[in-house]
């Protein structure tokens, strides 16, 4: 299991534009880090670079287990990392049940915790609806289902709570707390502060 | 120096993940607008228009029946390729696929496999009917179906690669055709050649062997090049 | 590992080389043209033999340019080097033009020899396929808005094309054995009279050097263009 | 001897050579024009931006340019019309 995520000397640019360089960050099990910065400062790109979806210009992203042994990058990402981006990755033509089931099975383990996910985010009434009938907030809750349904140590979250109302924000905060208690790691890009103790990494950026 | 993530949270295993993705891809192919029906309909339309264009004389038609069937097959295989990766890129599902237990190369292969089952298989069943209608000797029907089935896999692999390359392009559908059709030449040559040889009393064996070899080769190329193209589009 | 992979060093090294290449190409073209029209006409093909001196070099270097494109694509993919990508991009247009010329002159050669403008023989068909590969490459490159992504996608295609070209060639040859009545007089294959070697080889070299000059110039232009884009982006940032 | 009498194949030989010459000339012209154009554009930009940083790695250049006192001038010249 991932115990430490360490980023050293990371440089990322998009096209001709340099987003940040020489970035260092270390997150340990049970720890949450909040990523702040202006729009376009590179929050999303940093998360994508950690998830291996974007190739950094320089620097290194490394994963270590509790004994300090390095983990294979591909396996750490393919088995231990959740990435929840702006887009929910849901197919509008399929039902919520099909989509949640696929996401949990694809990312998850032998026993997909579908019921836990349904219970955590109040998805039961949505399950038989096609995704196209769901509101933005409902879709986000459905996408969050995979965080609970297929447990993975590292959560990379990009504005996770943006479409949620106050009630579900509280529910999600609770889930994050549980994840940290279970020695999970969270790195979240947010505009509003997270409702739990977290370090802040400010990417700054032009205003 | 690096060791695998420890084994306690068991992944679903290769077969499990493959099945999960394959089921989803097939569901999307069949569900989303009836891609296979569309391809078969297109195939049938081409077959019907052709005699009207060149004249219905069996003496003109029947020598080229096999070739026409193969051309129509290649064109029909191009349909529905455009949405293969594009929709997953648009809605973010491609990120999800990249973070699964399987490497992206396998994801590309599974998608190609789904394309083959969803589109290639129905087309392989339609091909003998179309070839018959064009005047192909009935004795060649099993060979037509078999070669269309093998060739369909080649079209699926190559087409999947084209779809991955065209990610992020304007008018992807047209672009895929221009990129992929030159790569369709070997399967069309070997597939139609098998029919032609059989029609002239020779053994279609070598042609089928070449066809199969090309399909295997295309699978390997499509996996690696397709994965590289997908990663490029994601980053 | 490549001394020239640094754009600065590349510019410095190729700066004096390019004018030399242009000059050599011009001289060779002039000499080759002179030789081409001073050799006696072929007893069989008559004056049409002179078409060969522009047809075969165009075909050879059309293929050569695609190899350059494919190999550059490989280096662009593996080493992610901007210079290799510039080289792949720069080879596409001259290569496509050479290939188109080979098709056009081949057709003009075929008409008096075969009595038809186009023959589906293996060689002509292969050149046609090569041209289609160029079309696909340029279309892909042009239709992806993000220049970096378009470049990498095109590089993948260039490499795939390079690997596939021999296979397509093989399939076309195989197909040809199936259909070719083999009664044509195939230009070029009937054993070239040694009297035609000087003009032929001169033109072959001339086309090669010309391609090298075009290619290098285009790479240099591409490097400059990218620098300009970078500078403009920087200024936009300041404004 | 220079032999320019192509009968009976003049209709084939001359177009082949003529079109080849035209296409090659067009290729050369295009290459040279593009080369000149970007060369001039680059020289203009490098003269405009007094930054010593043209050859330095991108990031520093961008940052140092932002903070420089003379950046208003740079900005103006960037906006200024330039054909």
Note the pLDDT tens digit of each residue in C170-213: 888 888 776 654 444 444 445 567 778 888 899 999 999 999 99
Q: How far is A200 from chain C (nearest CA, A)?
A: 27
Angle at alpha carbon of residue A200, lines to A195 and A205, rounded to 5°: 120
Question: Is the Cβ–Cβ distance between C95 and C137 less than 8 Å?
Answer: no
Distance CA A123, CA C167 (A): 53
Between helix B141-165 and helix B172-180 the angle, nearest 10°, is 120
Return the closest-CA partner of residue B229 out of B131, B138, B162.
B162
pLDDT of C135:
93
Distance CA C123, CA C132 (A): 14
Is residue B32 situated within a structural domain? yes
Is residue C75 situated within a structural domain? yes
Strand bridging mode A154-158 / A81-84: parallel
Distance CA B16, CA A112 (A): 12
Q: How far is A43 from chain D (nearest CA, A)?
A: 18
Distance CA A38, CA A44 (A): 11
Q: Model confidence over B113-148: pLDDT tens digits?
A: 999 998 888 888 888 888 888 888 888 888 889 999
Is residue C33 situated within a structural domain? yes
When CB atoms are compared, the residue of B182, B185, B193 closest to C136 is: B182
Distance CA A92, CA C88 (A): 40
Binning chain B into helix, strand and coil, the percentages to the nearest 5 are 80, 0, 20
- Is D83 near chain A, with CB under 8 Å? no
Question: Is the Cβ–Cβ distance between A97 and A127 less than 8 Å?
Answer: yes
Q: What is the 3-class SS of C43-71, one letter each residue?
A: CCCECCHHHHHHHHHHHHHHHHHHHHHHH
Question: Is the Cβ–Cβ distance between B209 and C140 less than 8 Å?
Answer: no
Is residue C42 situated within a structural domain? no
CATH topology of domain A4-202: Rossmann fold (3.40.50)
Q: Is the peptide bond before D8 cis (omega within 30 degrees of 0)?
A: yes
Return the closest-CA partner of residue A65 out of A26, A28, A23.
A28
Q: Does the predicted interface ipTM exceed a cut of 0.85?
A: no
Number of domains in chain C: 1
Task: Give the range of the structural domain holding residue B120, as residue numbers without chain letter.
Answer: 16-234
pLDDT of D33:
93
Task: Say if residue B154's pLDDT is above 60.
Answer: yes
Dmax over CA atoms of chain A, in Å, equals 48
Is residue B63 situated within a structural domain? yes
Task: Give the range of the structural domain holding residue C213, as residue numbers without chain letter.
Answer: 17-37+48-178+194-229
Q: How far is A205 from chain C (nearest CA, A)?
A: 12
* SS3 category, C180: coil
Distance CA B171, CA B193 (A): 33
Please state the separation of Cα B28 from the chain's center in Å.
16
The chains found to touch D (3+ Cβ pairs under 8 angstroms) are A, C
Task: Say if residue D64's pLDDT is above 50.
Answer: no
pLDDT above 90 coverage of chain B, percent = 27
When CB atoms are compared, the residue of B179, B193, B229 closest to C178 is: B193
Return the closest-CA partner of residue C83 out of C150, C6, C146, C24.
C6
Beta bridge partners of A187: A33, A156
Q: Model confidence over A109-154: pLDDT tens digits?
A: 655 677 888 888 888 888 888 888 888 889 999 999 888 888 888 9
Task: Say if residue C156's pLDDT is above 90.
Answer: yes
Number of domains in chain B: 1
- Is B98 near chain C, with CB under 8 Å? no
When CB atoms are compared, the residue of C132, C150, C156 closest to B182 is: C132
Q: Model confidence over A73-86: pLDDT tens digits?
A: 888 888 889 999 88
Using only C-alpha atoms, chain A has a radius of gyration, in whole angstroms, of 17
Q: How sure is the predictor about B216, in pLDDT bands with cuts at 50, 70 and 90?
A: very high
Sign of CA dihedral C118, C124, C126, C129: negative
**Are B and D neighbours with ≥3 CB pairs closer than 8 A?**
no
Distance CA B170, CA C144 (A): 6
Residues 11-70 of A with CB under 8 A from D: 11, 13, 16, 18, 21
**Whole-structure pTM value:** 0.84
Total CB pairs under 8 A between chain A and B: 118
Is residue C109 situated within a structural domain? yes
Residue of C nearest to D14 (CA): C51
Distance CA B50, CA B39 (A): 17
When CB atoms are compared, the residue of B2, B91, B99 closest to A81 is: B99
Is residue C219 situated within a structural domain? yes
Chain D CB contacts of C41 under 8 Å are: 3
pLDDT of D49:
66
Residue B7 CB partners (closer than 8 Å, separation 6+): none
């Amino acid at each position: 299991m991932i115990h430490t995520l360490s980023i050293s000397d990371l440089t990322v640019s998009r096209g001709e534009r340099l987003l940040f360089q020489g970035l260092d960050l270390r997150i340990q099990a049970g720890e949450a880090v909040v990523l702040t910065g202006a729009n376009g400062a590179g929050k999303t790109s940093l998360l994508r670079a950690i998830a291996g979806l974007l190739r950094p210009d320089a620097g290194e992203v490394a994963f270590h287990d509790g004994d300090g042994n390095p983990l294979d990058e591909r396996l750490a990402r393919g088995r231990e990392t959740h990435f929840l981006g702006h887009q929910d990755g849901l197919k509008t033509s399929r039902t919520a049940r099909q989509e949640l089931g696929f996401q949990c099975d694809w990312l998850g383990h032998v026993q997909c915790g579908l019921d836990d996910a349904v219970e955590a985010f109040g998805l039961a009434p949505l399950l038989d609806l096609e995704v196209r009938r769901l509101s933005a907030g409902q879709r986000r809750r459905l996408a969050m289902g995979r965080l609970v349904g297929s447990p993975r140590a590292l959560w990379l979250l990009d504005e996770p709570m943006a479409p949620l109302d106050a009630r579900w924000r509280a529910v999600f905060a609770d889930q994050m707390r549980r994840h940290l208690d279970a020695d999970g790691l969270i790195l979240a890009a947010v505009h509003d502060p997270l409702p739990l103790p977290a370090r802040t990494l400010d990417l700054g950026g032009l205003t | 120096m690096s060791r695998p993530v420890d084994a306690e949270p068991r992944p679903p295993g290769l077969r499990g993940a493959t099945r999960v993705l394959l089921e989803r891809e097939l569901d999307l192919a069949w569900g989303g607008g009836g891609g296979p029906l569309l391809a078969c309909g297109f195939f049938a339309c081409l077959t019907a228009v052709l005699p009207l264009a060149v004249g219905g004389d069996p003496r003109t038609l029947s020598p080229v029946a096999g070739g026409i069937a193969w051309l129509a097959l290649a064109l029909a295989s191009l349909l529905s390729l455009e949405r293969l990766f594009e929709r997953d890129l648009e809605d973010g599902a491609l990120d999800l696929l990249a973070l699964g237990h399987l490497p992206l190369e396998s994801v590309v292969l599974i998608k190609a496999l789904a394309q083959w089952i969803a589109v290639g298989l129905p087309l392989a069943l339609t091909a003998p009917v179309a070839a018959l209608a064009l005047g192909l000797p009935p004795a060649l029907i099993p060979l037509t179906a078999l070669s269309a089935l093998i060739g369909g896999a080649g079209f699926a692999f190559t087409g999947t690669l084209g779809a991955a390359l065209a990610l992020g392009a304007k008018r992807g559908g047209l672009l895929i055709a221009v990129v992929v059709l030159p790569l369709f030449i070997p399967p069309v040559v070997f597939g139609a050649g098998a029919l032609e040889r059989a029609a002239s009393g020779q053994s279609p064996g070598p042609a089928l062997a070449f066809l199969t070899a090309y399909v295997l080769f295309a699978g390997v190329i499509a996996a690696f090049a397709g994965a590289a193209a997908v990663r490029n589009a994601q980053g | 590992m490549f001394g020239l992979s640094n754009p600065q060093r590349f510019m410095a090294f190729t700066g004096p080389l390019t004018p030399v290449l242009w000059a050599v190409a011009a001289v060779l073209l002039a000499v080759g043209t002179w030789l081409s029209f001073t050799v006696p006409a072929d007893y069989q093909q008559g004056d049409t033999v002179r078409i060969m001196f522009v047809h075969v070099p165009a075909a050879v270097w059309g293929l050569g340019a695609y190899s350059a494109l494919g190999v550059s694509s490989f280096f662009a993919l593996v080493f992610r080097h901007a210079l290799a990508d510039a080289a792949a991009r720069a080879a596409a247009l001259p290569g496509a033009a050479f290939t188109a010329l080979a098709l056009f002159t081949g057709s003009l050669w075929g008409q008096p020899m075969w009595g038809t403008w186009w023959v589906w023989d293996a060689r002509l068909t292969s050149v046609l396929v090569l041209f289609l590969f160029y079309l696909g490459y340029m279309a892909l490159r042009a239709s992806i808005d993000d220049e970096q992504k378009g470049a990498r996608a095109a590089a993948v295609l260039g490499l795939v094309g390079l690997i596939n070209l021999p296979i397509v060639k093989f399939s076309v040859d195989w197909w040809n054995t199936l259909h070719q009545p083999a009664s044509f007089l195939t230009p070029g294959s009937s054993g070239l009279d040694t009297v035609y070697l000087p003009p032929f080889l001169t033109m072959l070299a001339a086309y090669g050097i010309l391609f090298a000059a075009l290619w290098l110039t285009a790479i240099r232009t591409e490097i400059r263009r990218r620098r300009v884009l970078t500078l403009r982006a920087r200024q936009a940032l300041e404004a | 001897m220079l032999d320019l009498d192509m009968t009976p194949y003049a209709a084939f030989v001359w177009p082949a050579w003529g079109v080849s010459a035209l296409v090659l000339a067009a290729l050369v012209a295009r290459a040279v024009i593009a080369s000149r154009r970007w060369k001039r554009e680059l020289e203009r930009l490098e003269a405009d931006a007094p930054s010593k940083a043209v050859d330095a790695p991108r990031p520093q250049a961008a940052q140092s340019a932002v903070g420089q006192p003379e950046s208003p001038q740079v900005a103006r010249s960037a906006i200024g019309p330039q054909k």
